């Protein structure tokens, strides 16, 4: 009987060949691919770069925090300013609501000679706005308009009666229609006749049908020259008599600073217990100032 071989062989020759071949292939592949593998080691230069970049990011973060804090502070200041302005607006609105103007009658006597062309066109354009402002400020508002020229013109005077004015009322439309008919005179201004028929206009204004309930009655004369020399004292006397009644006054809007107007207009306003206003801008602003300024 043949004796059995009891030696234990873990690997056979064939298995060793297989492992050797695989190891050789692995080594070959590693040799080929080695140049393509990056150096994953942390060199001193790379570490320095990363640290520098980190410091830069930290500086940017700190700067961003400063900007954020500054913006927060600015936002808080703006919020405070907004609240302050809101309080001021509310206070002013409350003050305006507390204003109680009386029933007002206004007669505008407008010089319609050739030098007053701009003022005539201004009244045409701004009459509706003037009426709207007054109807908003007063319980009731009455208005009449007089156009006057030189005594050499015909007609010397034209007018529309004083009537209570409401927004979009027939009375306002009639008033606007009349004002639209006014035109600057064509007569040349000469050194012999550069004064205006203020006396005639003032007489017409005083004779207006003033409303009994009007507590403030105001005549506003708009001109760039004085009354005729022989009528100056007469107009001052009429102004004194009119303003002797409580709540009645005569004011003047001096359109340009002609020598005769500078001397006459303040005297007329003083006699009428009114005020003198320098015109040349908005006709509405000038009339309102002459009407409401004490």
Bond from prior residue into 137 cis (ω within 30 degrees of 0): no
Per residue of the chain (294 residues), what is the pLDDT tens digit? 555 555 555 555 666 666 667 777 667 676 666 666 555 555 677 777 777 888 888 888 888 888 888 888 888 888 888 788 777 766 655 554 555 689 999 999 999 998 889 999 999 999 999 999 999 889 999 999 999 988 888 888 999 999 999 888 899 999 999 999 998 875 544 444 578 899 999 999 999 999 999 999 999 999 999 999 999 999 999 999 999 999 999 999 998 878 888 999 999 999 999 999 988 788 889 999 888 886
Residue ranges of domains in the chain = 59-99, 104-292
pLDDT digits (tens, 9 = 90+) for 153-203: 888 899 999 999 988 889 999 999 999 999 887 554 444 457 889 999 999
Tell me the β-bridge partners of 250.
Answer: 219, 273
Q: What kind of fold does domain 104-292 have according to CATH?
A: Rossmann fold (3.40.50)
Give the separation between CA 91 and CA 108, rounded to whole angstroms.
Answer: 34
């Amino acid at each position: 009987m043949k004796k059995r071989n009891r030696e234990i062989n873990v690997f056979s020759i064939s298995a060793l060949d297989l492992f050797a071949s695989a190891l050789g292939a692995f080594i070959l592949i590693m040799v080929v691919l080695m140049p393509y593998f990056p150096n994953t080691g942390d060199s001193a230069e790379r570490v320095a770069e990363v640290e520098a970049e980190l410091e830069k990011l930290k500086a940017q973060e700190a700067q961003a925090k400063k900007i954020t804090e500054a913006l927060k502070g600015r936002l808080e200041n703006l919020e405070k300013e907004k609240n302050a302005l809101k309080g001021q607006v509310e206070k002013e609105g409350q003050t305006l609501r507390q204003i109680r103007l009386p029933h007002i009658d206004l007669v505008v006597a407008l010089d319609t000679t050739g030098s007053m062309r701009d003022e005539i066109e201004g009244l045409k354009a701004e009459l509706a706005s003037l009426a709207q402002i007054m109807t908003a400020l007063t319980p009731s508002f009455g208005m009449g308009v007089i156009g006057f020229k030189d005594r050499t013109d015909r007609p010397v005077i034209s007018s529309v009666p004083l009537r209570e004015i409401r927004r979009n009322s027939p009375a306002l439309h009639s008033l606007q229609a009349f004002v639209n008919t006014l035109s600057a005179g064509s007569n040349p201004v000469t050194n012999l006749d550069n004064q205006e028929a203020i006396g005639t206009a003032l007489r017409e204004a005083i004779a207006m049908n003033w409303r009994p309930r009007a507590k403030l009655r105001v005549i506003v004369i708009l001109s760039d020259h004085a009354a005729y020399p022989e009528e100056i004292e007469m107009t001052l006397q009429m102004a004194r008599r009119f303003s002797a009644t409580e709540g009645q006054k005569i004011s003047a809007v001096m359109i340009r600073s002609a020598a005769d107007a500078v001397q006459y207009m303040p005297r007329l306003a003083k006699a009428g217990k009114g005020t003198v206003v320098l015109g040349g801008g908005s006709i509405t602003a000038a009339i309102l100032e002459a009407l409401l300024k004490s």
